[in-house]
Structure 1
């Protein structure tokens, strides 16, 4: 399998952590995000700390042009990508009726359309080579009634489960990594200061731990990875409790 990994949303948060941990294994990186400056800073860090090659690809995955550029890079036979991490994403207010419908469309495009297009581009090339690994970053919200964010992440989980069943026998594994609340800048980008999410401290996860668990489960070929025992228990409880009660519990945080 190619030692090159392509990570979307790599400029910060879980994307940057995936890039760091993959670089620590000796993987070369293709770093994708809209913020070129942040990508170049991360590229310099990874090259210095791990002596790996880093390619910067600036793209807005909510646009056709951005998607086409990244999909074309994934299909390049001369520079094969062995690992794809579909991580790019953002959250919206849970009060759907107050949200801008154009933002809701961007949200759907990024989490669903971009994940589908890039998985399709990577999959074709990986199947020709007989091996590869695709990691789709979802969320514990996929298992809860939690606005459009939970809905798009539920799609990611369902899609990843199906793809792993279908293609793992041909050497390509697909894993949905489903973290709970994780210490990154995700919530700050929604306009929330530290402590404003209304989430108990024990439910917060460390980004490094989340990525380590996700990479470990992907290496084992698992279709779904839920980092930490506390969130595994929460997902199990959500399947057993009444939907209305789960929906009320899911209103915590943003």
Structure 2
């Protein structure tokens, strides 16, 4: 039975990955800060899908948490989903440096360290995959969040290129706006966002897994967001940043 480790597994995209992979027969290692909530998710998956789930409470903004997950990855997994992340409701210039550093720790350092902890075992076995959850925001400069997700995309593409020709894959997943707890937890008012721009977490995960099977390096679920990200890569960065700033302000 293949094993998948998912960070940020208690809600949103992480929970959707857990459901999808459990339905596919994966044994799961669920990682998040809230151990009680993790246990509840693991029990729900056991009852619904009959799969075992290892619970690993860990704060990825702390070295102790990262080291615990690194150690588990070195014991071997078939799929790593680096999904843990968060946002800020204020502009980067209004957020404390400590909070910005915490974001970079979770979005960048954790992705780096956990990916590099998982890959040696995968390469030795000749199979495996890593999905690093980024965002459409990576293509539109808008503060530290966008910058950190742009790094995730670049890092994932670099690893995918390095592993090209092998049976080990690395992919960046860049969803648009997804109906999760993300915006509420960041105190971001999304009431003005048009309904047609919202995606479901299950749809995002389904498309991500299809893209992974196809060997895609950067997965952007949904045609609407494929068009939006394409525009973001073609227009000058200054213009993309201005459009993004006006949209977020509105």
1:152 to 135, 148, 155: 148
Equivalence for 2:10: 11
CA distance in 2, matches of 1:253, 1:207: 22
Equivalent residues in 2 for 1:180-219 (5 A)?
Answer: 180-192=176-188, 195=191, 198-219=192-213
2:135 counterpart of 1:136: no
Which residue is equivalent to 1:96?
A: 92
| Structure 2 contact 9–32 (Cα < 8 Å) conserved | yes
Q: Where do 4+ consecutive residues of structure 1 move more than 4 Å?
A: none
CA contact (8 A) 1:23 1:29 kept: yes
Alignment counterpart, residue 221 of structure 2, candidates 200, 222, 227: 227
**Following TM superposition, by how much is the alpha carbon of 1:171 offset from its aligned partner in structure 2, in angstroms?**
1.6
Cα deviation, residue 97, structure 1: 1.1
Q: Structure 1: any 5+ residue segments left out of the alignment?
A: none
Q: Is the 8 A contact 2:141 2:241 kept in 1?
A: yes
The corresponding residue for 1:171 is: 167
Contact 1:94 1:146 in 2 (8 A): no
Q: Residue 148 of structure 1 aligns to a residue in which SS? A: helix
* 1:173 Cα offset (Å): 0.2
- The 8 Å contact of residues 33 and 60 in structure 1, kept in 2 or not, is answered as yes
Alignment correspondent of 1:241? 235
1:168 and 1:174 in contact (8 A); partners too: no
Normalization by structure 1: what TM-score? 0.94
What is the match of residue 46 of structure 2?
47
2:94 pairs with 1:105: no
- Residues in 1 aligned to 2:89 and 2:183: alpha-carbon distance in whole angstroms: 11
Distance in 2 (alpha carbons) for counterparts of 1:225 and 1:190: 25
2 CA distance for matches of 1:228 and 1:194? 20
* TM-score normalised per structure 2: 0.95
Q: Contact 1:85/1:137 (CA < 8 Å) preserved in 2?
A: yes
Deviation at residue 81 of structure 1 after TM alignment: 0.7
